[in-house]
């Protein structure tokens, strides 16, 4: 563990005491979001110390210029990045003429941060003595409303502690912001209008190139000792900023409170010409409700989320806090209302990875959303890719594929590829398989076969077409091969016959062939429509089968395992346990060539295949491969420990499973990788959820039924989780004495427990 300043609490993230070295990490950890926007836990008042400012709007991105050493055909011309949006949280504060700035205060005491996950707010309080000797107590509460998802509210309280003081509060909007990670020092935003209208302020901005139009807005209310007051304001308006300054004389012990209602409206949801009027409507609603009512609604909305998504762990508060933090962040990031949105690896907590969509969504996030939300939410994640199918076909065409073959981008905002390293962009093609697998996984879980007929089959066909064209026939071996790929283990580039990729390709080809038959049989009119659209021939389907049947899989007789790729055994096979710890993490200590020629594995690769296709292999085979590959695995991707935890649990190695679980569940809270400053690892948080539900709980889908093989780490008294399976809410509780199950609503419900059928009744807890 690298960091331990976060206080343990089952429902909150807590920080006590002010440490400038924790500011950027806490800005990530205490981030808030509501699916439509997000905000790092930056201070409202001026802070001149090291900080990483971040306000983000879901779906608003910028195509930053990229330059590489030598340009390669097919590279996109930009790297899409999530944009730091205009600042809506700012409130400048002065006390007796001096700006309040925790970095320059003489003294800061009782500094406290709380991310209240149960009720969905972020609170910060402190007592500060300024250079001029004035002392104040400040308490700030911030909410991004789940109900009015264009609105944020802040309650900012100042109490003079040593004599009366003239306090000025200047809530402002600032569009003069930049990204931390810009490739060039360009501005990304044009400010179109800065407008004052009585107590309201508006800034209309547009992103350059992408022309997203937004309006940032604010309105404030003042209270003295909780009683509304009127105060005259001085306006400060520049080309990119608007602020209203209120100056109030406050007696010692009295509390001046400012409620700031603010946020964004965008042209994704409103007409460009109506942004200011939309902002006014939102402000009207927000102000009418008032801060307290919004806070109450927020609590109710989070109650609904937790009702379904909570996982309880008894006997381990840190684990409890960790899993709730993960569930909370996932829900802050994506709520599934809008098929245009997706889940960036850092969510709304930072800029890194451009805020774009990766294969993380399909491989790691969908199971969480399927089980803890209505079916529609996971379906929207599939529809996101369906809506990008045309662009995926264009992307494949850029790389020389044809006849409707699709290659989904490795990194995307709008369906276009937006990453340009050839070994990733052009070669990490297994993502295409994960997108088909997610359709299979979704239908397996939800039973929503209509999705295949309506939308899924087109995607599955286009992906099969890609694999068919991407293989090479080796006369030498009389087999189809897939040359020049990067697998999930990105510590190998441009390898031949990555087993995971080959297996996934084979599966995609077979699955597509099967689904063509099934759709023709079960949904004739859909089938006709699709056939007409994609011009599929039976020869094409035969070709898919032929390739699938003759794909090459590198194998070692000596070790009785599939090889991660051709030539894997030529490496110096020294296990990680014998590696000098000073050399870890290798991605920070070693040059790339050294990493590539080493046997070390970044994240599950062959084992990822065994995770996806567990039913294709015997437990003995899983164990053999786990024993062979895990010792070479450095787990330097946040996505690695969860898959290993699930497999260790399946193999009954609960200590190992628990250790992997710890690595994933408090990755950010304990900052294992010393990088939480840059943001939290949102997508791997879904992996943490899987570690409990699929790992310890052993949940699988077998023959349209939920199946469990519950186990429990010896460190815990009990744990419980719920899953929504086809409209039935199943609660699984596991204690050291064994599991019990409840279902609601509706009648009798069959599940499998350790391979045996069991019927659980409505609202009756049943032990196994």
Query: Which residue's CB is nearer to its own copies, number 496 or number 766?
Result: 496
Are the CB atoms for 605 and 488 separated by under 8 Å?
yes
Rounded Cα distance, 285 and 4, in Å? 41
Phi, psi (rounded to 5 degrees) for 16: -125, 130
For residue 79, count other CB atoms closer than 10 A to its CB.
Answer: 21
The encoded tokens of residue 715 equal 């460190």
CA–CA gap between residue 599 and residue 578 (Å, rounded): 12
* Secondary structure (3-state) at 346: coil
- Token pair for residue 32? 């808030």
Minimum separation from the CB atom of position 632 to its own copies (A) = 14
CB of 555 to its own copies, least distance (A): 14
Give the phi and the psi of residue 551 in degrees, each rounded to 5. -75, 150
Residue 685: CB partners within 8 Å, gap ≥ 6?
A: 325, 326, 327, 329, 330
- 94 in Cβ contact with 100 (< 8 Å): yes
CB of 485: closest distance to its own copies in angstroms?
8
543, 550 contact by CB (below 8 A)? no
**Dist. CA 101–CA 86, nearest whole Å:** 21
Query: Is-catalytic flag, 490?
Result: yes
3-state secondary structure of 421: coil
Kindly state the smallest distance separating residue 497's Cβ from its own copies, in Å: 8
Please state the separation of Cα 335 from the chain's center in Å.
11
Catalytic residue among 45, 490, 492, 709: 490
692-730 per-residue burial string, b: 16 or more CB within 10 A, e: under 16: bbbbbbbbbeeeeebbbbbbbbeebebbbbbbbbeebeb
What whole-number distance in Å separates Cα of residue 353 and Cα of residue 417?
13
Which CB sits closer to its own copies, 68 or 524?
68
Q: Which is nearer to its own copies, 65 or 533 (CB)?
A: 65
Residue 684 Cβ vs its own copies, minimum distance, rounded to whole Å: 18
**Which sign does the torsion angle of CA 632, 636, 640, 642 carry?**
positive
What string of DSSP letters covers 566-603?
TTGGGS----GGGS-GGG-SHHHHS-HHHHHHS--BSS
Q: Which helix (H) or strand (E) holds 293?
A: helix 275-309
Q: Encoding tokens for residue 411? A: 């990194």
217/491 with CB nearer its own copies: 491
For residue 371, the surrounding DSSP H or E stretch is helix 366-372
Residue 359 annotated as binding site: yes
- Complex with its own copies: residue 230 or 572, whichever CB lies closer: 572
725 sits in which H/E element: strand 718-725
Rounded Cα distance, 291 and 227, in Å? 13
User: From the CB of 505, what's the least distance to its own copies, in Å?
Assistant: 14
Least distance in angstroms from the C-beta of 254 to its own copies? 53
Burial tier of 193 (Cβ tally within 10 Å: 0-12, 13-18, 19+): exposed
> What whole-number distance in Å separates Cα of residue 477 and Cα of residue 614?
28
**603 in a known ligand binding site:** yes
Q: Which is nearer to its own copies, 276 or 586 (CB)?
A: 586
Q: Give the residue with the Cβ less far from its own copies, 204 or 346.
A: 346
Look at residue 251 and give its three-state secondary structure: coil
DSSP string covering 501-551, please? HHHHHHHHHHHHHHHHHHHHHH-HHHHHHHHHHHT--HHHHHHHHHHHHTB
**Interface ranges with its own copies (CB under 8 A):** 66-70, 72-74, 79, 183-184, 398-400, 419-424, 426-427, 472-477, 481, 483-484, 493-496, 566-567, 569-573, 587-594, 596-597
Helix H or strand E encompassing 56: strand 55-57
Find the helix packing angle between 317-333 and 682-690, rounded to 10°.
130
Sole residue written with tokens 């991105």: 61
Report, in Å, the least distance between residue 590 CB and its own copies. Answer: 6
Give the nearest distance from C-beta 509 to its own copies in angstroms.
18
Cross-strand pairs, 479: 474
Q: How far is the CB of 471 from its own copies (least distance, A)?
A: 10
Separation of CA 543 from chain center: 38
- Identify which of residues 239 and 570 has a Cβ nearer to its own copies in the complex: 570
Give the active site residues. 490
Please report, in range form, the residues annotated as the binding site.
359-360, 602-603
Please report, in range form, the residues annotated as the binding site for substrate.
359-360, 602-603
């Amino acid at each position: 563990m690298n960091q331990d300043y976060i206080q343990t609490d089952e429902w909150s993230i807590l920080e006590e005491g002010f440490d400038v070295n924790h500011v950027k990490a806490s800005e990530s950890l205490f981030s808030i979001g509501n699916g439509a926007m997000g905000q790092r836990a930056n201070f409202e008042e001026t802070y001149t110390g090291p900080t990483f400012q971040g306000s983000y709007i879901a779906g608003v991105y910028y195509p930053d210029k990229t330059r590489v050493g030598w340009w390669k055909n097919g590279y996109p011309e930009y790297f899409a990045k999530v944009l730091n949006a205009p600042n809506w949280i700012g409130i400048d504060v002065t006390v007796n003429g001096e700006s309040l700035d925790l970095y320059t205060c003489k003294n800061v005491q009782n500094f406290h941060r709380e991310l209240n996950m149960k009720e969905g707010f972020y609170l910060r309080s402190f007592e500060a003595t300024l250079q001029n000797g004035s002392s104040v107590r400040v308490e700030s509460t911030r909410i991004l409303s789940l109900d009015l998802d264009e609105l944020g509210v802040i309650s900012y309280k100042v109490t003079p502690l040593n004599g009366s003081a003239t306090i000025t509060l200047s809530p402002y909007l600032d569009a003069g912001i930049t990204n931390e990670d810009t490739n060039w020092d360009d501005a990304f935003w044009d400010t179109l209008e800065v407008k004052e209208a009585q107590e309201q302020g508006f800034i209309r901005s547009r992103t350059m190139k992408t022309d997203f139009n937004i309006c940032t807005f604010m309105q404030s209310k003042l209270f003295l000792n909780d009683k509304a007051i009127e105060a005259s304001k001085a306006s400060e308006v520049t080309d990119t900023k608007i602020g209203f300054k209120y100056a109030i004389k406050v007696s010692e012990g009295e509390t001046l409170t400012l409620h700031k209602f603010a946020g964004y409206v965008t042209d994704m949801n409103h007409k460009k010409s109506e942004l200011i009027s939309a902002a006014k409507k939102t402000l009207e609603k927000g102000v009418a409700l008032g801060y307290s009512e919004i806070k109450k609604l927020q609590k109710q909305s989070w109650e609904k989320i937790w009702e379904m998504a909570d996982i309880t762990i008894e006997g381990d508060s840190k684990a409890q806090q960790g899993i709730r933090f993960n569930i909370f962040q996932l829900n802050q990031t994506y709520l599934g209302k809008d098929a245009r949105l997706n889940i960036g690896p850092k969510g709304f907590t930072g800029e890194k990875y451009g805020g774009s969509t990766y294969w993380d969504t399909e491989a790691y996030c969908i199971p969480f959303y399927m089980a803890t939300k209505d079916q529609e939410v996971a379906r929207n994640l599939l529809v996101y890719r369906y809506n990008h199918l045309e662009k995926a076909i264009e992307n494949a065409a850029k790389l020389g594929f044809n006849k409707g073959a699709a290659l989904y981008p490795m990194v995307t905002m709008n369906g276009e590829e937006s990453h340009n390293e050839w070994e990733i962009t052009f070669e990490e093609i297994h993502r295409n398989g994960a997108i088909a697998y997610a359709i299979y996984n979704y239908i397996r879980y939800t039973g929503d076969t209509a999705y295949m007929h309506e939308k899924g089959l087109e995607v599955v066909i286009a992906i099969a077409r890609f694999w068919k064209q991407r293989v090479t026939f080796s006369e030498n071996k009389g087999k189809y091969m897939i040359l020049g790929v990067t697998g999930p283990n990105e510590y190998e580039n441009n390898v031949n016959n990555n087993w995971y990729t080959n297996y996934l390709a084979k599966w995609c080809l077979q699955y597509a062939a099967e689904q063509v038959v099934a759709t023709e049989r079960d949904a004739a009119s859909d089938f006709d429509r699709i056939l007409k659209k994609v011009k599929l021939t039976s020869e094409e389907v035969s070709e898919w089968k032929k390739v699938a049947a003759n794909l090459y899989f590198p194998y070692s007789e000596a070790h009785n395992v599939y090889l991660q790729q051709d030539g894997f055994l030529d490496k110096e096979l020294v296990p990680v346990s014998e590696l000098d710890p000073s050399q870890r993490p290798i991605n920070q200590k070693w040059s790339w060539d050294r990493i590539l020629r080493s046997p070390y594995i970044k994240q599950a690769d062959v084992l990822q295949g065994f995770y996806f296709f567990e039913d294709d292999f015997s437990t003995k085979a899983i164990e053999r491969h786990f024993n062979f590959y895990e010792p070479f695995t450095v787990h330097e991707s946040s996505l690695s420990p969860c898959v290993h935890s699930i497999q260790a649990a399946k193999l009954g190695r609960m200590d190992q499973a628990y250790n992997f679980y710890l690595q994933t569940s408090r990755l950010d809270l304990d900052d294992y990788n010393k990088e939480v400053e840059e943001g939290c690892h949102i997508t791997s948080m879904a992996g943490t959820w899987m570690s409990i539900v699929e790992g310890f709980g052993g949940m699988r889908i077998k023959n349209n039924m939920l199946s469990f093989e519950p186990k429990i780490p010896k460190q815990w008294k009990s744990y419980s989780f719920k899953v929504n399976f086809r409209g039935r809410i199943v609660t699984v509780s596991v204690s050291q004495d064994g599991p019990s199950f409840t279902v609601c609503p509706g009648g009798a419900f069959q599940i499998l427990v350790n391979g045996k059928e069991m019927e659980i009744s409505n609202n009756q807890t049943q032990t196994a």
